[in-house]
């Protein structure tokens, strides 16, 4: 397997593939700094698992032996299955799928980890759109059991069955969604988070009271504003823009405050500040 994108999602996907499914995994990222950061994060996760008794030192070494990396699609090894896990940018994803099609065998399955963008549109950039499918993992990938599977208009039955089998091999439970903006999870989750930001924006309550109300009042493990910070406010904004642009309903209009946070570079946990401040925890 090859994973394009060595961010938190890509690293999580590759780790589960190498550890649970016992596949050889190659990470591809054009940024040497991101590749180094991602692989360092992967090693920290494995060290933590050893310390907590979830795996042995030998198992950690075995997993690491299955992992390689490269700085470009042109340098990637042969792969039967590729998962793209870059940012939610339709044109970037389409460009990557064009490059992958030119580099790899026509039999290679190309999956995208997009959380909201049309699979059909991404697939149209590939030479074999019937080999393209959506495989939406949840964050953090090693912990979350679910993978949404989204066939595009062109996706073949063979591509679908192979993808379902891989998800099962990775220890995941699958659900299947039609190729519509946001699929299942984000069609429901993102408007909820967006409405929580609007409540904060309008001064209905403090961020702490909004989160506490939803945690203790509706038995959610995490409040919507804290969850937004963990997902990444830039990711939340990008998904809301897809929902608003593609569905054309004003109820999906992104909160003005959400846009302001992103403009300020306050992206959540990953930047050290979002709706909450995490700088002291770094």
Question: Which amino acids are annotated catalytic?
Answer: 115, 136, 148, 186
Location of structure tokens 């993992």 = 137
Q: What DSSP string runs through 79-123?
A: -SEEEE---S-HHHHHHHHHHHHHHS-TT-EEEE--SSS-HHHHH
Contact at 8 Å (CB) between 148 and 117?
A: no
Q: What are phi and psi of 189, to 5 degrees?
A: -75, -45
Degrees to nearest 5, angle at CA 174 with 237 and 29: 55
- Contact (CB, 8 A) for 3 and 13: yes
Pair type for strands 146-151 and 132-137: antiparallel
Please report where in the chains the tokens 């019937």 appear, as a residue: 130
Distance of alpha carbon 172 from alpha carbon 169, whole angstroms: 7
Separation of alpha carbons 154 and 263, rounded Å: 37
CA 111 to chain CA centroid, nearest Å: 12
């Amino acid at each position: 397997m090859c994973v394009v994108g060595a961010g938190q999602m890509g690293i999580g996907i590759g780790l589960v593939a190498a550890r649970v499914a016992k596949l050889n995994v190659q990470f591809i990222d054009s940024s040497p700094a991101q590749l180094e950061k991602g692989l360092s994060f992967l090693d920290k996760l494995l060290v933590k698992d050893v310390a907590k008794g979830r795996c042995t030192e030998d198992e950690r070494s075995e997993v690491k032996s299955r992992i390689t990396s490269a700085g470009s699609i042109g340098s990637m090894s042969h792969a039967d299955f590729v998962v793209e896990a870059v940012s939610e940018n339709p044109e970037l994803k389409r460009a990557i799928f064009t490059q992958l099609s030119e580099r790899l065998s026509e039999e290679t399955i190309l999956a995208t980890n997009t959380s909201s963008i049309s699979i059909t549109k991404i697939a149209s950039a590939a030479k074999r759109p019937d080999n393209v499918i959506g495989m939406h993992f949840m964050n953090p990938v090693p912990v979350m059991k679910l993978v949404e599977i989204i066939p595009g208009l062109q996706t073949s039955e063979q591509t679908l069955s192979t993808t379902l089998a891989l998800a099962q091999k990775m220890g995941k439970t699958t659900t299947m969604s039609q190729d519509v903006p946001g699929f299942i999870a984000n069609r429901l989750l993102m408007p909820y988070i967006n409405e929580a930001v609007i409540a904060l924006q309008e001064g209905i309550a403090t961020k702490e009271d909004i989160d506490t109300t939803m945690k203790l009042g509706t038995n959610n493990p995490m409040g919507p504003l804290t969850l937004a910070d963990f997902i990444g406010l830039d990711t939340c904004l990008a998904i809301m823009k897809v929902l608003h642009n593609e569905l054309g309903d004003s109820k999906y209009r992104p909160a003005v405050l959400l846009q302001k946070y992103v403009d300020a570079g306050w992206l959540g946990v990953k930047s050290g500040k979002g709706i909450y401040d995490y700088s002291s925890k770094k």
